[in-house]
Structure 1
Amino acid sequence: MNEPSWEPVPYTLDLADGILALHRRAWGELEITRAEYHRWQYQENPAGPALSTVARERNTGELIGQFGAIPLRASINGEPQIAALALNVVTDPAYRRQGVFARLGHAANGQMAKAGIAFAFALPNENSFPGFVRHLGYHHVGDVPLLVRPVNVRRLVARRLPLPGLGALAAALSRPFAPPLPGSAPPVDDVTVVPVERFDSAFDVFWQRICRRQRVMVVRDAAYLEWRFRQIPLRRYFPFQAVVADDLAGYIVLRRAEILGMRAGLVVDFVVDPASGERVGVALLAQAAAHFASENVDLLASLMLPHVPEYGLLRRTHFWPVPRPLLPQRFRLVARGGPVVRKLEHWFLTMGDYDLA
């Protein structure tokens, strides 16, 4: 069998320009084709530099494929581990159907093993999902529900079914299930919600309190949250914290984004200390609703697993799980590692753990 004209090589800093050029050829002008975003994601991560594997043409040195991966500090049963999030998987259009994905994926598995990665996970798209499961040893852990709170039902319906009068009728019928967003957040007893100016040591203390609430979690301490939500270029997040008796009891991170032509208010990350009671989550979601009321959004959206308390809080505040036939895409969680990470009920996962949100 003839050797391909390319070879797999580990990512190094000097390959950054070639990776950006590959991204532009495959996807056009997006965030991940910008040098400052690449530097943040691949080089400034507090868990360490990227563990990506790239395909390089032997003769020209041009990069024609990538199996991207970044390390993340994680917790399994409350014990610190290093995990990897697979992302930015891409093959140059001229080299597709030549086994680039599978060969790079196997090389990436070896690179992660050498780096001491305890487990790897991803939320692949429809095209790459079969390859992860069939060829690379990833297990389909399960689907993560997308929850949506309709806000501007008239506009949502008009965009999907542009029939005269249908939007107004749908808005009237849906009012009991999709009430308008309040202009301000009502007070909740003993809970103070304020913007996060900086993720400080209070978030380290909070993380230590909650790190055992689910068996598999990405570490959410101050260093991670500051990198993920405040140091990121080209995006703006709005984090809020809930304080009870001078102690941090939960937080929420919000972002507005355009998705499929709709103005969406994203609940990107949402974590509460169950010991503080449901009122903390209620107060944070009320703040989210008030924040997005002035943003002219069509809907609010969040990813959340049904077995965690935050899911119930979202449901109480008019978020509805989207039926599979209506999903813009399935959010399939795949993982490669020991038995603990292969069960969906062990996980805590939000949009914040997904690189596109």
Structure 2
Amino acid sequence: MDDGIRIGLEGASPELLDAYQDFGLERARQGAAGLAWTFGMPAAPCPPFCVARSGGRIIGLSANIAARVKLGAQEGTAFQAVDSFVSEEARGKRLFSRLAHGFAEAAGEAGVDVTWGFPNANAAPAWFGGLGWHNFGQVPFLFRPLNASYLLRKAGLPGGLRLARGTKVASVSPREFGRETDQIWADFSSNIGCAVMRDAEALNRRIFGAPHAGEYRVSIYGEGRDRALVVTRMLEKHGTRIAYVVEAMGGKGLKPLLQSEMNHLARQGAQIALAWCFPWSPNFRDFRGAGFYPMPERLRPVEINFGARALSARGVAAEVRENWYLSYMDSDGV
């Protein structure tokens, strides 16, 4: 039976921003510029929003971030599912699933290779059930205490002492990623089977093109094939000052650069550093050598699951967890 709901793909618009605000979605705080930065990848193969309308009025949406993605030796396109909402009047009509299926079908027809994302505990059953995503479990949190106050507070005790100390390296802070970044990524990713691209074009858009670009700290250290790159951002979250390692990649210079950056962030008042990194990732040993440890699930601030679904033959590489490389660069909240 026709319930009068029309579902289709749309681009960003003032009406869509109004819907974000009406639905009370966190991303509405970014405004029009934030929506354009998040969803406006040049030459995306299809619009990023799957929108449900009734009588012309928006009653539901599924929003997706487009990105270039490495799939083995090839480059493809992926969409990361980030925002979903159904108005109260439209609930009970399977609209969440209809929106997700509608986007996946249209994206596949447009040549998109992969849909993927990080469902929270409430959304995970839908994405990993009827929507056909492969469930890779929770994201691979690493942590490093930078001040003893973080651990003491967890134990209900007062006090504090800076824990991160080490030699400062002579890093540089560029205002733009250039050809050296392309070389760092090419060398670093040579054995990575699946990842969002982290070349100069992608990093310039993600980091320096962000509305909050001034909150990122970018450091590059080393020469030639030893050169390394670290991007961090410090935020007040979960009741403490957290240093997020947004990206960390490179050659032999990566471990000393990470150590130096953690020392700097501790001096700036960060109490703990967080990163995402799988044990098979090429930078895992560098993180461990810089004092990071896998975070037990009981200590994690939130539950963030990870999964993907291939939409093309080329995208099948994304359905194997061990092919993936992740970092906080893949998080739309950092």
Using structure 2 for the length normalisation, give the TM-score.
Answer: 0.89
Q: Which moved more, 1:235-244 or 1:115-124?
A: 235-244
Contact 1:20 1:33 in 2 (8 A): no
Paired letter, 1:148? F
The question of 1:85 aligning with 2:68 is answered no
- What's the counterpart of residue 139 of structure 1? 134
Deviation at 1:131, TM superposition (A): 1.0
Deviation at 1:109, TM superposition (A): 0.7
Distance of 2:29 and 2:133 partners within structure 1: 25
The question of 1:186 aligning with 2:165 is answered no
What do residues 234-266 of structure 1 show as CA deviations (whole Å, max 9, x unaligned)?
A: 352111112314x57221110011221211010
- Structure 2: state its 5+ residue gaps: none
- What's the counterpart of residue 208 of structure 1? 186
The question of 1:349 aligning with 2:322 is answered no
Distance of 2:53 and 2:279 partners within structure 1: 42
In structure 2, the residue corresponding to 1:318 is in which secondary structure? Answer: coil
Does the C-alpha gap of structure 1 residues 31 and 156 become closer, same or farther in structure 2, counting only changes over 3 Å? farther
Does the C-alpha gap of structure 1 residues 152 and 46 become closer, same or farther in structure 2, counting only changes over 3 Å? farther
User: How many positions carry a matched residue from both structures?
Assistant: 329
Distance of 2:272 and 2:238 partners within structure 1: 12
Q: Which moved more, 1:42-51 or 1:324-333?
A: 42-51
In structure 2, the residue corresponding to 1:198 is in which secondary structure? Answer: coil
Deviation at 1:5, TM superposition (A): 4.2
The question of 1:42 aligning with 2:42 is answered no
Distance of 2:324 and 2:151 partners within structure 1: 32
- What's the counterpart of residue 52 of structure 1? 49
Contact 1:18 1:62 in 2 (8 A): no
Does the C-alpha gap of structure 1 residues 95 and 297 become closer, same or farther in structure 2, counting only changes over 3 Å? farther
Contact 2:318 2:324 in 1 (8 A): yes
Distance of 2:288 and 2:279 partners within structure 1: 10
The question of 1:334 aligning with 2:287 is answered no
The aligned runs of 1:261-280 (5 Å cut-off) are 261-273=239-251, 277=252, 280=253
Paired letter, 2:36? R
In structure 1, the residue corresponding to 2:106 is in which secondary structure? Answer: helix
- What's the counterpart of residue 123 of structure 1? 118
Identical positions, percent: 24
Paired letter, 2:289? R
Does the C-alpha gap of structure 1 residues 242 and 116 become closer, same or farther in structure 2, counting only changes over 3 Å? same
Distance of 1:157 and 1:62 partners within structure 2: 52
Does the C-alpha gap of structure 1 residues 185 and 140 become closer, same or farther in structure 2, counting only changes over 3 Å? same
- What's the counterpart of residue 227 of structure 2? 249
Does the C-alpha gap of structure 1 residues 42 and 167 become closer, same or farther in structure 2, counting only changes over 3 Å? same
Contact 1:211 1:219 in 2 (8 A): no
The aligned runs of 1:187-336 (5 Å cut-off) are 187=169, 192-235=170-213, 236-245=215-224, 249-273=227-251, 277=252, 280-336=253-309
Question: What is the aligned counterpart of 2:23 among 22, 26, 29?
Answer: 26
Distance of 2:22 and 2:207 partners within structure 1: 28
Deviation at 1:100, TM superposition (A): 1.6
Does the C-alpha gap of structure 1 residues 271 and 155 become closer, same or farther in structure 2, counting only changes over 3 Å? closer
- Structure 1: state its 5+ residue gaps: none
Deviation at 1:207, TM superposition (A): 2.8
Question: What is the aligned counterpart of 1:70 among 43, 65, 69?
Answer: 65
Distance of 2:91 and 2:148 partners within structure 1: 41
The question of 1:114 aligning with 2:109 is answered yes
Paired letter, 1:78? A
Does the C-alpha gap of structure 1 residues 45 and 82 become closer, same or farther in structure 2, counting only changes over 3 Å? same
Does the C-alpha gap of structure 1 residues 311 and 31 become closer, same or farther in structure 2, counting only changes over 3 Å? farther
Contact 2:146 2:262 in 1 (8 A): no
Contact 2:60 2:87 in 1 (8 A): yes
Deviation at 1:155, TM superposition (A): 4.9
Paired letter, 1:291? H
Does the C-alpha gap of structure 1 residues 292 and 9 become closer, same or farther in structure 2, counting only changes over 3 Å? same
In structure 2, the residue corresponding to 1:252 is in which secondary structure? Answer: strand
Q: Which moved more, 1:48-57 or 1:301-310?
A: 48-57
Does the C-alpha gap of structure 1 residues 186 and 42 become closer, same or farther in structure 2, counting only changes over 3 Å? closer
Contact 1:142 1:334 in 2 (8 A): yes
Deviation at 1:24, TM superposition (A): 2.2
Deviation at 1:46, TM superposition (A): 6.5
Deviation at 1:351, TM superposition (A): 0.7
Contact 2:7 2:51 in 1 (8 A): yes
What root-mean-square deviation, in Å, do the aligned CA atoms of Structure 1 and Structure 2 show?
A: 2.4
Does the C-alpha gap of structure 1 residues 116 and 29 become closer, same or farther in structure 2, counting only changes over 3 Å? closer
Does the C-alpha gap of structure 1 residues 298 and 5 become closer, same or farther in structure 2, counting only changes over 3 Å? farther
Paired letter, 1:261? G
Contact 1:216 1:347 in 2 (8 A): yes
Paired letter, 2:134? H
Deviation at 1:29, TM superposition (A): 5.6
Deviation at 1:49, TM superposition (A): 6.6
Contact 1:65 1:100 in 2 (8 A): yes
